[in-house]
Chain A
């Protein structure tokens, strides 16, 4: 798929077919994610791929139920031991967008869901426990991936002119 088209037509997919996602495609997703830029080229990211439903169930207690139907979850996070800056959140988010676009370009559907909430640590704790995370690894997002079983509706978008400013705000 053309790159610009892939970026423009990517939409969040929350319904998936019961078909598994081959390891080769998962590898392509993570390979694309790690090509993102990062501050000082730290590449502080880590990706934990989960297909185990038992692990998923421990997390969906704190998340939306649709996620359980996704054949694959990719926990995207950063490793403080690999990072020399305060830009870990942005670095990881850049990598995640690569993953989402690649998924779409390969015919998969995906959605970016939050992996932490500063106001309520219970999700973070459940994730840490389920994945056996060391203290230095922080999850930013759980990306659900699968073969789409829905046509995403048109999303309401703020008009271009409303968010674009020339020279000054």
Chain B
């Protein structure tokens, strides 16, 4: 049990994990948390694919960008996607999936896990999404938004530099 504000405010990206597996019961709890997110017109356009197969992770992780190389060592990855067939508005799919993804990140922290949000698409390297599509056998109507790497933390995340509260909080008007 971890208090909600603490779970939100202490969550940091964790990229190094112990070899210990994440039990299925916990995986289920993470996805249950995700699907409780709000979505436009309650369409719940999301789809979650859990990946533990090392071979698949290795194929996905072949890095154009070295920074996501840690992905192959995660005991669990959850690919968070949206299914455009479940969405009538089309315009808010990215947000809907991101909101659900944040629930996974918070629940993971509260359950003693570490996690990191890794984007699944970038126009600079379209090959990343193509590879994800191929490995996960996604049909054309299902679009990956992010891959969340999850495991028991094997690092203490360092304090991150944050924009001060007064810089991001405006009152009544922007200026």
Contacts and interface: CB of A to CB of B under 8 A. Distances in A.
B69 interface: no
B137 A169 contact: yes
A37 B146 CA distance: 13
Given A37-B117, A86-B123, A90-B97, 11 more contacts: A9-B36, A48-B171, A49-B169, A50-B172, A90-B119, A97-B37, A97-B99, A101-B4, A102-B8, A117-B91, A169-B139
10 contacts: A3-B107, A31-B165, A43-B168, A86-B122, A90-B101, A90-B146, A94-B98, A111-B38, A114-B91, A137-B174
Contacts of B162: 34, 43
Interface of B: 1-9, 11, 13, 28-29, 31-33, 35-38, 40, 42, 44, 46-53, 56, 86, 91-92, 94-99, 101-103, 105-107, 109-111, 116-117, 119, 122-123, 135-139, 142, 145-146, 160-163, 165, 168-175
Size category of the A interface is: 35 or more
Contacts of B6: 3
A31 B136 CA distance: 37
Contacts of B7: 3
A32 B136 contact: no
Interface of A: 1-10, 12, 27-28, 30-32, 34-37, 39, 41, 43, 45-52, 55, 82, 85-87, 89-94, 96-98, 100-102, 104-106, 111-112, 114, 117-119, 131-134, 137, 140-141, 155-158, 160, 163-169
- The residue in B53, B138, B174 that gathers the most chain A C-beta atoms within 10 A of its C-beta is B174
Contact of B99 (A51, A86, A102, A112): A112
Interface majority SS (helix, strand, loop, mixed), chain B: mixed
Given A86-B123, A112-B38, A3 B106 contact: yes
A168 B49 contact: yes
Interface majority SS (helix, strand, loop, mixed), chain A: mixed
Contacts of B91: 114, 117-119
Contact of B172 (A10, A46, A49, A141): A49
A90 B172 contact: no
A160 B32 contact: yes
A98 B142 contact: no
Contacts of B56: 167
Contacts of A8: 32-33, 36
A52 B50 CA distance: 45
A7 B33 contact: yes
